[in-house]
Amino acid sequence: MKTNSQPGRELRVESREQTRDGLVFFCHRPSTLDPRLSARAFTLIEMILAVGIAALVLAVIGSVFFAALHLRNVAQAAVDEATPVDQALAVMRRDLQCVVTPTNGTSKILSGDFRVGTLTSLGISQPVAIEMFTATGAMRDNAPWGDIQKVTYELKDPTDRNSPGKDLYRSVTRNVIAITSTPDTQEQWMLGGVQKIEFSCYDGSQWSDIWDTTGITSVNTNLPVAVRVRIQLAGNNPANTQPIEILVPIDSQSRTNMVFTTTSGG
């Protein structure tokens, strides 16, 4: 009986040792058993570094994005501000390039005067800076007017009293042979915030701020060689702001402005 009981006891002792070894196995950290498992994990310092680098990259991207957005807004504002000026200068240049030669005090059909200075024009309530006859009128089938029209440029008080400067208007008279004392004039708004506008005429040797071909005894009996336009915009300090300037050559010149009369013999 003793001999039969010892093998069973040895089996029980062996099973207890195996169970204890298994507990010891599961209680140990994986890093001490398999180094490959520890290499696949991230430490706390590595996580902090990764989050910090990601935050830095996002901050740089955000700053670049907002800088590009600000630059886009500034460029768009500059374009919006320059568009009315460019349009006004383009129309003014076209009027001067298509100006009609004067007739020195006579009232010829489809030919008129050219005047520069502080003037009073028929049908315009405000003083004008220039009065000219130019071939820029649009001919239409439903309108009886030709392409020659009288054009003036003048400054008027703005509708909004809080706006700086004045508004530049272009007044057009299509019926140049009207028999009424007050012709029908159409006003076109060109530019706002204008402090001053000046027209200067070049006669080939010097510039003059006054040019008038309406009188028979006028000194200036022909068109100027060139016209210079200066527009001073109103701002916080107009004295330090450079004016906008364009120079328009006048190609239309008449060889003579004399009025010839013919007599027939009997």
Average pLDDT over residues 89-116: 80
The pLDDT value recorded for residue 260 is 47
Q: Which amino acid is at 21?
A: D
Residue-wise burial string across 140-162, b where 16 or more C-beta atoms lie within 10 A, e elsewhere: eeeeeeeebbbbbbbbbebeeee
Pairing of β 244-249 and β 185-202? unpaired
Task: State pTM to two decimals.
Answer: 0.65
Look at residue 262 and give its three-state secondary structure. Answer: coil
Average pLDDT over residues 210-233: 86
The pLDDT value recorded for residue 22 is 52
The pLDDT value recorded for residue 26 is 46
Q: Which amino acid is at 131?
A: E
**Token digits for 100?**
């009609």
pLDDT-derived band of residue 90, with 50, 70 and 90 as boundaries?
very high
Max alpha carbon distance in the chain (Å)?
179
The pLDDT value recorded for residue 160 is 80
The pLDDT value recorded for residue 172 is 93
Q: What is the pLDDT of residues 7-37, one digit of tens each?
A: 555 556 566 555 555 544 444 445 454 555 5
- Count the neighbouring beta carbons within 10 Å of the beta carbon of residue 262: 4
Of residues 111 and 264, the one with the higher pLDDT is 111
**Token digits for 91?**
């129309």
With 0-12 / 13-18 / 19 or more C-beta atoms within 10 angstroms meaning exposed / middle / buried, residue 193 is: middle
Average pLDDT over residues 214-243: 81
- Residue bearing tokens 């050219």: 114
The pLDDT value recorded for residue 266 is 44
Q: Reply yes or no on whether the pLDDT at 38 is more than 80.
A: no
pLDDT-derived band of residue 249, with 50, 70 and 90 as boundaries?
very high
Query: How many degrees, rounded to 5, is the angle at CA 254 between CA 252 and CA 258?
Result: 155
pLDDT-derived band of residue 130, with 50, 70 and 90 as boundaries?
very high
Look at residue 185 and give its three-state secondary structure. Answer: strand
With 0-12 / 13-18 / 19 or more C-beta atoms within 10 angstroms meaning exposed / middle / buried, residue 4 is: exposed
The pLDDT value recorded for residue 209 is 93
Can you tell me the distance from the alpha carbon of 234 to that of 168, in angstroms, rounded to the nearest whole number?
12
Can you tell me the distance from the alpha carbon of 69 to that of 90, in angstroms, rounded to the nearest whole number?
31
The pLDDT value recorded for residue 30 is 52
The pLDDT value recorded for residue 73 is 75
Of residues 128 and 73, the one with the higher pLDDT is 128
Lowest-confidence pick of 52-61, 91-100, 246-255: 246-255
252 Cα distance to chain centroid: 32
Q: Reply yes or no on whether the pLDDT at 84 is more than 70.
A: yes
Locate the domains of the chain by residue range.
86-249
pLDDT-derived band of residue 248, with 50, 70 and 90 as boundaries?
very high
The pLDDT value recorded for residue 101 is 82
Q: Reply yes or no on whether the pLDDT at 71 is more than 60.
A: yes
Q: Reply yes or no on whether the pLDDT at 152 is more than 90.
A: yes
- For 183, residues 6+ apart whose C-beta sits below 8 A from its C-beta are 122, 123, 173, 175
